Structure formats: structure tokens, C-alpha cells
Structure 1
Amino acid sequence: MEPSAAACAAEIDRKGYTVIEHYISPEQLELGRAFINQQAASHDHEYFAIHGIEALGGSLIAGLALSQPFKETLTELYRLQTGREPAATEQIFPVIRCLQGRSGLKQSHFYHFDATAVTALLPLYIPTEGEHCGDLIIFPSVRRIRFNALRNVIEKAVLHNTASQKLVAFAVRRGWLKPIRLKLEPGNLYLFSGYRSLHANDECDPALLRATALFHFGNPHHDSLVARHLLGTNKRKAKLDHNGLKPVN
């Protein structure tokens, strides 16, 4: 039996994250991996990311993003974490990230806050050998939920620049900062507040494959023109609207 949203929210507040073990079945995991294998081959076994339901159409990941029970769970987590209702048009925004090859090394220690209050991470492939397996690194509850969009933009500008990210990465590697490090297990679902928590992934051996599905939900600034124009880089790169969908021409 899955834990209640209230229990998940309480554990996120207490520990910085919560885990629902064996969230998908072994058969579902194999379906997700089959999609990853196909995409990895088409990207010459180098880093790639796929954003949005339409780009992931027909995959296990798109199916989960469209699942009403899954959305209800994330909606309740959003309510519990913010005390507010999500925007009426809010949808789950899925992303596939695949670290492999030399280009995958450039995607490590990229410390950031998510645009959404709730982040769900579903590992599909996680290396188990070697020193660098792409662990999830979290500094939990670094900030509060900001309903002031301009303040959110300023905070992200301070921490999302190259100098700040390199400084945090250096301090983590030297042991001056001690974040939570999670060894991810394929098939488990990891829930945390990506908006409040500064997070990144550790390095991944370029000869190995790390593939995860991310599900973002609950943007406190969903209807803010300021946030829409100054943030949302990934959606703009993927040519998606602020709801994560292809614009209708």
C-alpha cells in the first residue's frame, strides 16, 4: 500500500525527501528501459533530455504523466506544501534525462531549484559499479515557497549562475558542504520539493548509463508573466508553451 500524501509531505518536511519503493512493476520498468534504449541509440550514446508529454507520447513516462491517480497525489502534495490550490490548467510536466558519454559529465553538479513545488523522480537505469553513479544530491529546504514571482527570479539569478554553481560544486567535493546523497534504485519513486531544495546529480561514469524520468508539478508562478518570460528555459528550448504543450498555430 502506498503511503498517504500527508505522510509523504511530513517526511519531505522532516528528511528532505520520501521514497515509495517498487512504485512501478518489473514489467513496467522494462517498458521504460526499452524506450530509453531506443532513444540512447538514436543519440549516439551521448547525453540527451526529452521534455513534455507530446515528445514522450506512447511511452510509459507519458502514461504516468497522464495518470489521474498520480496527478491527484501530486496535487495533494502541492496543497500540503503550499496551503494553496494549483492552477486550474496545471499539468504534470515529464522529462527524461539520460547521462552517458563524455557529454553526460557536463550535466553533473548543476545545482538548481525547480520551477515547481513538487518533483517526482523515477530512476530507470542507475549504475551500480565504480565511484561515480550519478547519486542525487539534495540540500533540503534551502528556501520557502515564494509566491512573489520577482523574488523567485532574483533568488534564481543569484544561485543559477555559473560562478555560484561552481562554488557549491567545489565546496561539496571538498567536503565543506554536506548535502544528502541518495543512491537511487530503479523502479522506486523519489519525491521532494524541487522548488525549496537546491539539488543536482553527482558525476556518472561516461561508460555507464544513468536514465531517470522526472515529473514536475505545481508551479506557484504558473500565471505570472514575469516568471514566464524570465524563467522556463527548458520549455522554450523545447518550443513548448508554459503548460508544457506544443503551441497550436
Structure 2
Amino acid sequence: MYCATLTRRNPFHDSIRETVRAEPRALSEADIDALARVMDTFGVAVLRNVVPAAVLAQMRDFIENEMRQNGQGSGLAGSDWVSASPLAALGCSPAFHDILLALWERAMQRLAPDVEVAASLRVLGGTVRLRHPWRFHYDSCVVTALIPLPGRDRPDEPYGVVLDPGWRPVRRRSSATTPENAVVNHPLVRPIWRTPTVRDRLSPHVIPVHPGNIYFFRGMQSLHGHPPRLPERVRSIALFHFGDPHAASFLKRLSARYLQPNLRRKNSAP
């Protein structure tokens, strides 16, 4: 996880260290089995009220500062933003890492790799967020943990996540998944997701997600996106991904080198 970076001063983390921490309790094997069964049955499983209200309030300040610096839409990836944020304790939590690892092993039916959790923060507001509803994709990693973060105006208002747990098989090679992902998110395909037929089919899978909870799903196998919100609402989510089976492939290394650095630029474009 990101424990090594916590030696640097983090004013958000220091202010809440003695009172509340954003991390789940350690789960027993039976608890994790139950969590995995819910994922297998419904596509998503939830741990409720993990992130305390004090940490959520700190995250609102963190996000507003990010928007002041980088505009209406931004994306952060890697360990630095986690260790500098109020979610630092979660990024360093052995219990959280163990939950992701155990869910990966139950999904893949083999021992998990010795890898870190990949974290990202997505903030969409104003005109930028109008381009993103009904834009779907698959994740690169097997297990995804999603944490919705509150907005300033209505901090308790839930978001919606559209999840279609079709259980796409985990491909043995990235040469199979890369074309699939490219087709799903191609500009010529995106309008199809907005058609009434497709939206009617996916609407039963719109899942309300509430700030403070952690939602787990198989991001690599489940097509997912989000429905629109009101234009004045800011949509902010923290994502933690575990276990990319194609991380060592040439295509994946090429993507990490050339595509990920453009995340902030593409999100913040007017």
C-alpha cells in the first residue's frame, strides 16, 4: 500500500489521526466469503459507513482545492494523491488491502500477485461532467473498490453507478482485452449507449451509491459507467483497483506510458 509516503507531512491526515480514520475493520474469512457471494449474485457488494463524516468533510475541502487548481474536471492517479489526502489511512490500511486481495483470489481461484493497490480520484463538474454520462468501460484490474465522495451543496445525496455484471471472462492475453476496451469506449460507439433501447436495458442496473460506503465489484468483467446528474452537481469518486493480470504486457506498459499522463488534460478540457 502507500505507508511509506505517510512520513511526509499531511495536514488532512494529522488533523484526524487521533479521532477517526477512514479504514475498514479486518474481516474474517466468513465475512469475506459472504462479501464475495453478494458480488457473485448481484454484481456489487458494499461495506457501509466505513469513511467517517469527518473524513468526508475533509475530502470536500480536498476536492474543492483540486478543482480550484485544475478546473472543473480532473483526474489523479498513483500514490501521491492518496498519501496527501484525508484518505491516507485507507490507502495504508492492511485490512483494506487484505479484503481486495481475498476478493481477487476468490474471483480468480488462485493466489493473488504481490502488487500494490492502484488508486485514482475522478472529479467531474460543470460542462466537463456533461460529456461523461452513459460512457462505459471495463477496468484493467479484476477487483475495483469505489468510494463516492460528497459534494458541498448536498453532501448526503447519492450518486448512481450503472453496472452490467455480464461476467466477461478474464482474458489470458491483453491483446484480447485491449481491442474490446477500445471498441466499448470508441467515439462512434458512445452514442449507442445513449439510445433508449440500451438505456432501458441498463436502467435496472443503476445502483445508488452513498458517500461513506465502499462498493466492491469485478471491474474487469463488469461493464460500468454512470447516469447523468444535474449540471450543478459535482461528481467525485475515489477508485482503488487490485490485480491487473496483464500488467507486465507490452500493450499495458505502452498504455501506462503514453495514455495515463493525458488523463488530467482530457478531463479538464472545456
TM bin, normalised by shorter chain, reads 0.7 to 0.9
Confirm whether residue 175 of structure 1 aligns to residue 173 of structure 2: no
What is the CA–CA distance in structure 2 between the aligned matches of 1:176 and 1:127, rounded to whole Å? 32
With the length of structure 1 as denominator, give the TM-score of the two structures.
0.83
Aligned to 2:3: none
What is the CA–CA distance in structure 2 between the aligned matches of 1:59 and 1:176, rounded to whole Å? 38
Aligned to 1:79: 105
Aligned to 1:217: 242
Aligned to 2:43: 16
The structure-2 alpha-carbon separation of the partners of 1:35 and 1:177, relative to structure 1 and needing over 3 Å to count, comes to closer
Residue 24 of structure 1 aligns with an amino acid whose one-letter code is: V
Residue 188 of structure 2 aligns with an amino acid whose one-letter code is: A
Confirm whether residue 27 of structure 1 aligns to residue 54 of structure 2: yes
Aligned to 2:166: 141
Contact 1:133/1:202 (8 A) holds in 2: no
With the length of structure 2 as denominator, give the TM-score of the two structures.
0.77
Q: Which runs of 5+ in 1 are unaligned?
A: 240-249
Contact 1:53/1:62 (8 A) holds in 2: no
- After TM superposition, give the deviation of residue 143 of structure 1 in Å: 0.5
Q: Which runs of 5+ in 2 are unaligned?
A: 1-24, 265-270
SS of equivalent residue, structure 1 residue 135: strand
- After TM superposition, give the deviation of residue 206 of structure 1 in Å: 2.1
Confirm whether residue 203 of structure 1 aligns to residue 228 of structure 2: yes
Contact 1:117/1:217 (8 A) holds in 2: yes
Contact 1:133/1:205 (8 A) holds in 2: no
What is the CA–CA distance in structure 1 between the aligned matches of 2:43 and 2:128, rounded to whole Å? 29
Contact 1:32/1:124 (8 A) holds in 2: yes
Deviates most, 62-71 or 226-235: 226-235
Confirm whether residue 54 of structure 1 aligns to residue 80 of structure 2: yes
How many matched pairs? 235
Query: Sequence identity, in percent?
Result: 26
Residue 39 of structure 1 aligns with an amino acid whose one-letter code is: E
Residue 14 of structure 1 aligns with an amino acid whose one-letter code is: T
Residue 76 of structure 2 aligns with an amino acid whose one-letter code is: I
What is the CA–CA distance in structure 2 between the aligned matches of 1:152 and 1:27, rounded to whole Å? 40
Higher share in helix: 2
SS of equivalent residue, structure 2 residue 224: strand
